[in-house]
Amino acid sequence: MRIDTLNVVAVLCVAFVTIGGQSFERKVAQLLHGEADDLKCFVESKKDLTCFWEEELERKNSHDRYTFMYSYEKEKSRTCDISSLSLLASNRTVFLCKLPQVLFFTVLDVQVLHDGRMLYNRSLNVENVLFLDPPRNLTVVSSGKEGPLNVSWLPPHLKYMDDSMIYEVRYAVEGSHMGKVEEIKASTKLILRGLQPGTRYKVWVRVKPDGVAYDGYWSAWTEPVFGATPPSDMDPLTVLLVLFIALILFILSVTVILSRHKFLLKKVWPDIPTPEHKFPGLLTVCEGDFKEWMRQNNGNMWGRSVHVYTEELPSPLEVLSEISLASHATSQREERITLEEEEEKMESEGTDSGITGSWREPSHAHWFMEQLRALQENPQSLSQSMLLESPDTYVTLNQNSQRARAEDDSQVDDICDESLPLQTLFSNTGTSSLSASRSDLGSLQQSSGSGRLSSQSSFEYSNHTWSPNRPGYTYMAVADSGVSMDYSPMSLSRIEDLGKRVIYTNEYKNEIFGHKCPISGQC
């Protein structure tokens, strides 16, 4: 029992000394950095004064070579035993002396000698170098609903000095580096006001003599203590106001939605577009059968004209032809033929909108027909009348057609640069195919509703279906399979053979270009 008590006491002593030692070392370290004097002195309590100085790095000396002398006013000098202390934190060494006798309120002279030479000299009053321990038992308590924090602490253990101390309280929001400091004199309580509600705060305190009777250095900060402010109560007026505004906004939004619900519905959930407005009856009557719908709407023209290959559908092709008139007679005949053709077309086409044009400009057609007639009447002039002049510019075909023509028909001359399928048609040797260098489907829209026969009206006619009453018409079958336009004349023959085969020529004019190529073929 007694041994246990002794053990406990011993442990406590060691702990106390250790803690005290740590505190002392911290004070030495703090003064080492903070104070300007080379020889620093401080008093921890009323009964010990410590003076220390840093070991000079140039001379690694032992403390034997130093002498510490001190003398109080009107007294003789005395020496003090020097010891050394290694600061672990900063890896420095200091020599220190703890004076055996401490007298306050009188002048103290201290000297440090190194090898007999004066190194440091200082006069001080001991009551002016107090270095106190931090305050004890710091507590932070929240007081009620209003939010201020009550901070209280105990002063360090120094008798009769409570009323000559000042304190500094530092507080900051937890996690923040911005803190506020408040100074308080001769009191160990403080009420922190103006804090944010519902926030956790960190509070520190430190102490210093007030400087009237005693003076010294600021102590170290205490360990931080946390305190939380209560969350703020909602002001009933504020709550009511917020609810009222929310209600008004809700009523407004409901009103807007109800008044424009159709519009909003259309925007949010749009209808699937149908072509019904453009194609009346397509979906309702014909049930999506476009051919049927076309048949119903367009009548004979389309029904007779459109013969679709099973494998591919005809697609619009704008082909501009340019044929120079070698002889008027030929052209005359051609024109006549063309005119008849056009008239027939006009009947059958009817009022198709957007697909075909109508022959409303007989002058052009008349001229073209004349050319065709001339061609028919005068086969020899074929070679010369390879170019059917038309007032418009034309699609350019590739060079194959031109070469083909050149090979077999030396009679071909005055060919316009923009050679056309008609040239091929009139050549003796047939070219298998011509590739249009360009197909301008854009003319679909341009020529719709116009008076000219547009390129859309490229029809494929089989030999048999066409009326045999129309000999001499060059027939072109045009098929659009993908990118390239591939049209091949169904028959290529001399004019003599025209009667056996059905040749049909269409004049394709581009409405945009208005100039007329001369008959000579030079555009």
In the complex, which residues of this chain contact other proteins (CB under 8 A)?
A: 46-47, 72-74, 101-107, 125, 127, 160-161, 163-164, 212-214
Residue with tokens 């420095």: 92
Q: Rounded distance, CA 14 to CA 20, Å?
A: 10
Q: Rounded distance, CA 341 to CA 345, Å?
A: 6
Give 396's contacts (C-beta < 8 A, 6+ positions apart).
417, 418, 419, 437, 438
Q: Which is nearer to other proteins, 128 or 297 (CB)?
A: 128
CB atoms within 10 A of CB 36: 5
Q: Which is nearer to other proteins, 185 or 494 (CB)?
A: 185
Q: Which is nearer to other proteins, 109 or 497 (CB)?
A: 109
Compute the least distance from the CB of residue 33 to other proteins, in Å: 29
Q: Give, in order, the Cα–Cα distances in Å from 22 to each of 205, 248, 434.
A: 19, 67, 105
Q: Which is nearer to other proteins, 160 or 263 (CB)?
A: 160
**Triad 443, 449, 455: Cα angle to 5°:** 35
| HEC profile of 232-261 | CCCCHHHHHHHHHHHHHHHHHHHHHHHHCH
- Count, residues in the chain: 523
Residue with tokens 């000698």: 113
**Triad 269, 273, 279: Cα angle to 5°:** 155
Q: Which is nearer to other proteins, 47 or 261 (CB)?
A: 47
Q: Rounded distance, CA 175 to CA 202, Å?
A: 9
Compute the least distance from the CB of residue 100 to other proteins, in Å: 11
Compute the least distance from the CB of residue 216 to other proteins, in Å: 13
Compute the least distance from the CB of residue 209 to other proteins, in Å: 11
Compute the least distance from the CB of residue 127 to other proteins, in Å: 7
Q: Which is nearer to other proteins, 84 or 164 (CB)?
A: 164
512, 514, 519, 522: CA torsion to nearest 10: -80
Compute the least distance from the CB of residue 222 to other proteins, in Å: 25
Q: Which is nearer to other proteins, 47 or 145 (CB)?
A: 47
Compute the least distance from the CB of residue 105 to other proteins, in Å: 3
